[in-house]
Amino acid sequence: MSHIKDFLKGIVIGVANIIPGVSGGTMALVLGIYERLIEAINNISFETVKAPLGLLRFNRAGREAFISEAKKIDAWFLARIGAGAVVAIIALAKVMTFLLTTWHDPTYGFFFGLVLVSTAVPWMLMKKKGIGAIMIVVFSAALLIGINHFFSGEKLVEKTRVKQELALEKEKMSSPDTVLTNDFDAKKILIMFIMGALAISAMILPGISGSFILLIMGGYFDVLRAIAVRDIPVLGSFALGCGIGLILFSRLLELLLQKWHNGTMAFLVGLVLGSLWVIWPFKTTVQVGSETVYVNNQIPAAFGTNELYTVAACAVGAAIVFLLILVERKQNREP
């Protein structure tokens, strides 16, 4: 049963990664598997890379070393979560794209209700809930909202416009008459490595988008352009930075959770609450070419069918999580 639960949780995380503004880290936290994920990633080392090679020796020592390392990094748990996420992304990407295009507000309303009630899960994991913890929650929520204010409507519009230009550039690059050149720029390679490490580190935190951090650092369009023109040196350095950043930052988080569990969890709860600002369903819109850009939060001037559907979807998302929490608590009380 736990295997199926992990797979389903992976699906939820995968769906969250499809929705702009909804963090996979947020869903991992509210699903109660965040700390286990961080611990598993933290245990990945050079030995993890060597262990599968030991199987090529075709002896008992190689097999035992592989099994031992798999247990150390909680490999089967990671595999179940990863499999669920991949299945969700592949199977539901088109469905979610349709929902976001046709039913934007109700779709975000559903996740708003889901995340809102889910905040109770990490809050309940905290052993002390005094004024200090509340202050940390308020601070981290305000911090995330403040950072998102930096991500102004003009930047969103510019982001969409450049993406459309890069799509046209990619079409030109696919022409058989086009000759691709990837000039090696050592300074740019180093910068993209650092940006990759910082972006993936932010992505681990609930409520923060890696692409959002890239945009703030000025590297978002460089990555898109590298993808469009197939700039292997830039993409390779960025990917390497992501891998190293993931391992190092997970170790930092693991240390913080071990030494200052309450304060760290309070900070994460605040990030989840702050993410509600990001996924607020009602927003002003700007048309950029054929794409609608959702810019700033607003309160609906009138309450029509769309608003009714959105509130209903929010209630459904909240009710689902509430019922899941009740079921989980009931199972924990049973002998």
Angle among Cα 36, 322, 128 to the nearest 5 degrees reads 55
* Cα 127 to Cα 104: distance, rounded to the nearest angstrom: 38
What does the pLDDT read at residue 177?
A: 47
Please say whether the beta carbons of 166 and 228 come within 8 A: yes
Calpha distance 262→322 (Å, rounded): 23
How many CB atoms neighbour CB 254 within 10 A? 17
Helix, strand, coil % in the chain, rounded to nearest 5: 80, 5, 20
Give 291's strand partners.
288
List the chain pLDDT tens, one digit each, 335 residues: 577 888 888 888 887 766 665 667 777 877 778 888 888 888 887 788 778 877 777 788 778 888 888 888 888 998 999 898 888 878 877 787 788 778 889 988 998 898 888 788 778 778 788 898 899 999 999 988 887 776 656 666 666 666 666 666 656 555 554 444 455 567 788 888 888 888 777 667 766 666 666 666 667 667 767 776 678 888 889 889 888 888 888 888 888 888 888 888 888 888 888 888 888 899 888 887 767 777 788 898 888 999 999 999 999 989 987 887 777 677 656 55
Taking the whole predicted model, whether its pTM rises above 0.85 is answered as no
Torsional class of 42: left (φ above 0), alpha (ψ -120 to 50), beta (otherwise): alpha
pLDDT (0 to 100) of residue 5: 82
Task: Reduce the DSSP state of residue 160 to 3 states and report it.
Answer: helix
